[in-house]
Amino acid sequence: MTMKASGMEKTDLKNASVDPTLTEVAPSPHLVEGGRTTRRMMIDVLVALAPLVGAAIYFFRWSAVRQMAICLAACLTVEALCALMRRRRPPLADGSAAVTAIILALSLPATAPWYAGVIGSMVAIGIGKALFGGLGMNLFNPAMVGRAFVMISFAGALGAAGYQDAGSTIDIMTQATPLTAFQQSGVVTGLADLLIGRTNGSLGETSALACLAGGLFLCLRRSAAWRIPASMLAIAALFAILQTGFTAQGWTPAHHLCGGALLFGAFFIATDPVSSPLTPQGQMIYGAGIGALVMIIRIFSGYPEGVMFAVLLMNGLTPLINRWTIPPPFGEQ
Amino acid sequence: MGWFDRYRRGTFDRGIHPPANKHFSTGSDIEIVPCPERVVLPLQQNVGGPCTPVVKPRQKVTWGELIGRGEAFVSSALHAPVTGTVERSVMTTLANGRHMPAIAIRTDDPGLQRQDLWDAVFGGPWPKDCIGIYEPQQIHEAILDAGIVGLGGAAFPTHVKINPNPQKPIHTLVVNGCECEPYLTSDEQLMRQAPDAIIAGAFLASYAVGAQRVIIGVEDNKPEAAESLRQSVGRTGIEVRLLRTKYPQGSEKHLIKAVVGREVPLGGLPADVGVAIGNVGTMAAVARAVVRSRPLTHRVICVTGAGVAQPKNLLVPIGISIGELIDYCGGLTADAARIVAGGPMMGFAVADRTTPVTKGTSGITILTHEDTATAAAGPCVRCGRCVEVCPMGLVPTKLAQAARTGDLRLARRYNILACFECGACAYSCPARIPLVQWIRAGKAQVARSQGR
């Protein structure tokens, strides 16, 4: 910091004692909260995903490891390439590409062919994120953009029927997913299996307990907005009760909550901060909207599950929700 | 005190809990700084208009003599803090970077020293049942003549606030003893060492504005200060209330919310909810002006932080340079990085150590490289953390975005002018975005466009 003393007659500025060793000037505030960085938030998500990853590997063995390895490699490569094309340093250290990779991998079935993971990753990072301008700029959840692309492109391999592999050596992979089994043949999966995760399904969604454990960690660390899963699950439970009533037999509201991707989606997909609203009220509306859409798709559509479409639809509404829910400032009558 | 009492203590919504870091200088007795050889008094030390000099170069002035007259309604008078000779007019740089004409005085006679100075300013007996002697108008005029401004940092002229207004009757005088800025301890130490002056001043001010109630709000991390005030209350009926420790509890509007439970309307004044408010140091200055007819020439200030060798609380003449105070406190440590006039949340980083202490300088915080280390700003991931902490209920990241893109309509829609730059958002931002800096720029743009 140098002070211009020339041309200032009769001033004290000439005597200004500016110490060259102590020159730091910066706007206030002069302190920042230690330990809270974007990177730390991403690492929190990865830590919270650990129980899901563990459950996926336990139940789906090598297919889970393979899927995650493919997605990680593809996502990080695409992220680096996109940054290099824009002549920027690859921002791999922020951890966001790794989060997208793991969430994408966990949202794919164990049977998914290798190219599903690769193409899904390319679309997720390339089109879902980099095209919008990178971290923080995307409108839609990148992992869900990638998944939607491959799901629709390879409907045969990744649709509801694609989850089953009659020839698999892993027992649960020969079965239908709980939601498909119920929708098509009225077979009700046991609640204990849903909680532990001993069912077929996307890699990360099967264990309700793992999703809950990781999700609560995320919310307690305040790395995810608790209002989104809270309102989403509350509305989903309400719809479930409206559909089935307070029944303890057959397909109960508890099955609705623990089956499918509802918990995984509530805690890990809907809470993506970039594509969800900023304001507390907006987060409630957003979560409630996803919860309602998931249940409408489950109950009335041909798809057994609807978390992905519900999240993408509400992502599209996020800018509007932000605008509707500008909070009244302190002191506004 | 059980957890339930703590929970019931008054507070406001949102806000942050930065580390208090008061330990550097808390509880250390106020030392009286020897009279400096020279003082520099900027002509505008307050919110509002500057004062007009009434002295000429080479003129002799004595301690307390009027040297600048406040002309506008919102301005304040300036008095000589030392006995000496006026130098030819000078320019000086304020802590906020503004260049400003100033009156410099070279000291001829050191005047009162040490304990004598303390006794004249804060010590000795303070009458606490003297209502009958002074009329409200008399109190108001004494405040006006003494050039008192808010000593908590904002430096708003006190005679404008302590002014009976029949249109907006005042029922409560709230006295601000929160000192919510991290590091700062000057108000706390004043409450511990000069409670009588504060109580007497608060009593006089409440009488001047016609308030039936006086409540002194103190954050609950300063129990000794609150106890000291309680001991001194006597029969004045003044209430000392502990509030939850949270930044920015010392903000005028948030203190009123915590104490009275009402929100000052957007763009309004405390008087709109029947409240007058002033800092504890200001109240002591009011007592001094009314009872002893002494103007505001000295103030308590702390020089604190890990970047200074011996952190201290000091009684200093206004106009002494920041560098002299640092030297008095043993100089800087090897890892000192930033000299901040005020606290670390809202204070100004100072490059020039000849910058004088003004009426509104509540402390000098010297931070180390470790304190100020921060990463480069990254992109906003819209985590909403800034929304969760903003005490004004704003959406800081949107305001910053509006400022960056020059979208003034967006800035207004999100009430950019309600921001008072407390820094809670930038403190909490995981992407390290300089939100306050952006918002400040945006406010300036909006103000300019409205001026047109």
The Cα of A136 is separated from the nearest Cα of chain B by a number of Å equal to 4
Of B381, B345, B343, the C-alpha closest to A36 is B381
- Count Cβ atoms within 10 A of the Cβ of residue B347 and give its class: 0-12 exposed, 13-18 middle, 19 or more buried: buried
CB contact under 8 A, A28 and B347: yes
Give yes or no for a contact between B157 and B48, defined as CB atoms under 8 angstroms apart: yes
What would the pLDDT profile of B383-415 be if each residue is shown by its tens digit? 999 999 999 999 999 999 999 999 999 999 999
Same domain, B163 and B19: yes
CB contact under 8 A, A38 and B253: no
pLDDT of residue A8: 37
Give yes or no for a contact between B397 and B409, defined as CB atoms under 8 angstroms apart: no
Q: What is the DSSP string of B306-325?
A: TTBSS-EEEEEETT-BHHHH
Give yes or no for a contact between A222 and A281, defined as CB atoms under 8 angstroms apart: no
How far apart are the C-alpha atoms of B381 and B397, rounded to whole Å?
10
- Mind listing the domains of chain A with CATH numbers? 38-324 (1.10.3430)
pLDDT of residue A115: 93
Place of tokens 């639809």: A313
Peptide bond before residue B248 is cis, with ω within 30 degrees of 0: yes
pLDDT of residue B119: 87
Give the residue from B244, B262, B292 where a domain finishes: B292
Peptide bond before residue A29 is cis, with ω within 30 degrees of 0: yes
The Cα of A265 is separated from the nearest Cα of chain B by a number of Å equal to 18
Q: How far is CA B44 from CA B139, B285, B294, B315, in A?
A: 23, 19, 20, 21
First-last CA distance in chain A = 46
Q: Residue B167 in 3-state DSSP?
A: coil
Same domain, B285 and B390: no
Domain membership of residue B181 (yes or no) is yes
| Residue B174 scores a pLDDT above 60 | yes
Domain membership of residue B80 (yes or no) is no
What would the pLDDT profile of A56-90 be if each residue is shown by its tens digit? 999 988 889 999 999 999 999 999 999 999 888 88
| Residue A15 scores a pLDDT above 90 | no
pLDDT of residue A179: 86
pLDDT of residue A21: 54
What would the pLDDT profile of B68-125 be if each residue is shown by its tens digit? 888 888 888 999 999 999 998 899 988 888 889 999 999 998 888 888 888 888 887 8
Residue B337 parent element (H or E): strand B336-341
Residue B173 banded pLDDT, cuts 50, 70, 90: very high
CATH number assigned to the domain comprising residue B153: 3.40.50.11540
Chain B, window 382-421: residues with a beta carbon less than 8 angstroms from a chain A beta carbon = 382-385, 387-388, 391-395, 397-398, 413-415, 418, 421
pTM: 0.89
% residues pLDDT > 70 (chain B): 97
What would the pLDDT profile of B418-448 be if each residue is shown by its tens digit? 999 999 999 999 999 999 999 999 999 999 8
The Cα of A330 is separated from the nearest Cα of chain B by a number of Å equal to 5
- Stretch among A7-21, B154-168, B382-396, B406-420 having the lowest mean pLDDT: A7-21
Give the residue from B292, B316, B351 where a domain finishes: B292
List CB contacts (< 8 A) between A36 and chain B.
385, 428, 430
Q: Residue B276 in 3-state DSSP?
A: strand
Of B102, B96, B63, B75, the C-alpha closest to B298 is B63
| Residue A10 scores a pLDDT above 60 | no
The Cα of A125 is separated from the nearest Cα of chain B by a number of Å equal to 15
Nearest CA in chain B to A1: B351
Domain membership of residue B100 (yes or no) is no
What would the pLDDT profile of B295-324 be if each residue is shown by its tens digit? 999 999 999 999 999 999 999 999 999 999
Give yes or no for a contact between A108 and A148, defined as CB atoms under 8 angstroms apart: no
Chain B, window 112-131: residues with a beta carbon less than 8 angstroms from a chain A beta carbon = none
pLDDT of residue B379: 92
State the average pLDDT for chain A. Answer: 88
How far apart are the C-alpha atoms of B110 and B104, rounded to whole Å?
16
Domain count for chain B: 2
Range of the domain at B222: 10-33+112-292
How far apart are the C-alpha atoms of A278 and B326, rounded to whole Å?
44
Q: Which residues pair with B51 in a beta bridge?
A: B70
List CB contacts (< 8 A) between B395 and chain A.
278-279, 326-327
The pairs formed by B236-240 with CB atoms below 8 angstroms and a separation of 24 or more are B236/B128, B236/B129, B236/B199, B236/B202, B236/B203, B238/B199, B238/B202, B238/B203, B238/B214, B239/B213, B239/B214, B239/B215, B240/B215, B240/B216
Same domain, B283 and B407: no
Residue A271 banded pLDDT, cuts 50, 70, 90: very high
pLDDT of residue A1: 33
Q: Tell me the average pLDDT across B256-263.
A: 91
Domain membership of residue B325 (yes or no) is no
The Cα of B208 is separated from the nearest Cα of chain A by a number of Å equal to 27
Same domain, B266 and B413: no
Q: Which of B12, B385, B388, B410 to mutate: most A Cβ within 10 Å?
A: B385
CB contact under 8 A, B351 and A26: no
Domain membership of residue B88 (yes or no) is no
Same domain, B285 and B394: no
List CB contacts (< 8 A) between B388 and chain A.
280
How far apart are the C-alpha atoms of B149 and B134, rounded to whole Å?
21
Interface confidence (ipTM) of the complex: 0.85
The residues near B28 (Cβ < 8 Å, ≥ 6 apart) are: B185, B189, B311, B312, B313
Cα-flanking dihedrals φ and ψ of residue B76, to 5°? -145, 155
Q: Which residues pair with B261 in a beta bridge?
A: none
Give yes or no for a contact between B238 and B156, defined as CB atoms under 8 angstroms apart: no
Point out the residue among B354, B387, B432 whose CB comes nearest to the CB of A16: B354
pLDDT of residue B361: 93
Q: What is the DSSP string of A166-233?
A: TT-SSGGGGSPPHHHHHHHH-PPPPHHHHHHT-S-SBTTTS-HHHHHHHHHHHHHTTSS-THHHHHHH
List CB contacts (< 8 A) between A4 and chain B.
none
Cα-flanking dihedrals φ and ψ of residue B102, to 5°? -145, 160
The Cα of B419 is separated from the nearest Cα of chain A by a number of Å equal to 9
pLDDT of residue A2: 34
List CB contacts (< 8 A) between A10 and chain B.
88-91
Domain membership of residue B279 (yes or no) is yes
pLDDT of residue A13: 45
Q: Which of A18, A30, A92, A324 to mutate: most B Cβ within 10 Å?
A: A30
B306 touches chain A (CB under 8 A): no
Give the residue from B292, B321, B350 where a domain finishes: B292
Question: What DSSP character marks residue B42?
Answer: E
